[in-house]
Each structure stands twice: as structure tokens, then as C-alpha cells.
């Protein structure tokens, strides 16, 4: 069974940094691209960043480009999101997600999310 467990969220002041982690299990992590998706309180879903299986290809939403860095450690089955220069509008529940397959692009697997609150 695919499991994705996020951690690292919390309360952080504007301008500060935070690093999220997502521990994956139930599949061969190194074979799949991974993603971060966020949801502001009471709002819709926003794709944040993607990373390919070998980290060769990385993509970001314009709203976080230059401030967030997605990375992965295939030996530890872990996905990361380093967030810097945080703003109040980054307040959201951050989900780790995997597509159904490398040829099937819809998001099929989601973690439960980790909450990031940016406030002074």
C-alpha cells in the first residue's frame, strides 16, 4: 500500500525558513517523480513543485519560484521542500503527492498533509 507521510510543518514568522519532509513507503520510491501541492485554509488546491525520479527535472509554480526548493533522497525514501522567505500567503496545508504512474499523469496518491502557518 502506498503511504506518504508529511512532517515539518509549524508556525513560522514571515521571512523565515522551514523544511518539509515526506516519507514514502509501499512502492519503489526511486522509480517515481514526486510532487508538493498546497491548500490554503478554506481554499482550493495549488500545485507547488515537481521533481523527477532521479532529480534531473524540477519544476515550480511561479508563486514559489526562487523561494522554494524541492529535493529528494532516494536512499531514505524521502521528499523534501525547503521553503525560504516565507510570506503570509504561503500559509497552507502542504501535501506530498505521487502520480498514478510515470505514464499516467493524474495525482493518485496523497499524504495527509502538514500545516504551515506564516504569521508574526
Which residues sit at the interface with other proteins, rule CB under 8 A? Answer: 35, 43-47, 50, 95, 100, 104-108, 110-113
The CB-of-9 to other proteins minimum distance in angstroms stands at: 14
Least Å distance between CB 108 and other proteins?
A: 6
| Residue 116 · residue 20 · CB < 8 Å | yes
Nearer to other proteins, 13 or 103 (CB): 103
Alpha carbon of 24 to those of 8, 10, 80: distances in Å?
A: 15, 21, 11
Choice between 41 and 66, CB closer to other proteins: 41
* Contact criterion met (CB below 8 Å) for 75 and 16: no
Choose between 62 and 75: whose C-beta lies nearer to other proteins.
62
**All cell numbers assigned to 33:** 517523480
Q: In the structure grid, which three cell numbers stand for residue 23, read together?
A: 516519507
Minimum distance of other proteins from residue 27's CB (angstroms): 16
Amino acid at each position: 500500500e502506498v503511504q506518504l507521510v508529511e512532517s515539518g510543518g509549524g508556525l513560522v514568522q514571515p521571512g523565515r525558513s522551514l523544511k518539509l519532509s515526506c516519507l514514502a513507503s509501499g512502492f519503489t520510491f526511486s522509480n517515481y517523480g514526486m510532487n508538493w501541492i498546497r491548500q490554503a485554509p478554506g481554499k482550493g488546491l495549488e500545485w507547488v513543485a515537481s521533481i523527477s525520479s532521479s532529480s534531473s527535472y524540477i519544476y515550480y509554480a511561479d508563486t514559489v519560484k526562487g523561494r522554494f526548493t524541492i529535493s529528494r533522497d532516494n536512499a531514505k525514501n524521502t521528499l523534501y521542500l525547503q521553503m525560504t522567505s516565507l510570506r503570509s500567503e504561503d500559509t497552507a496545508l502542504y501535501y506530498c503527492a505521487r502520480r498514478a504512474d510515470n505514464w499516467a499523469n493524474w495525482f493518485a496518491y496523497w499524504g495527509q498533509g502538514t500545516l504551515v502557518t506564516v504569521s508574526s
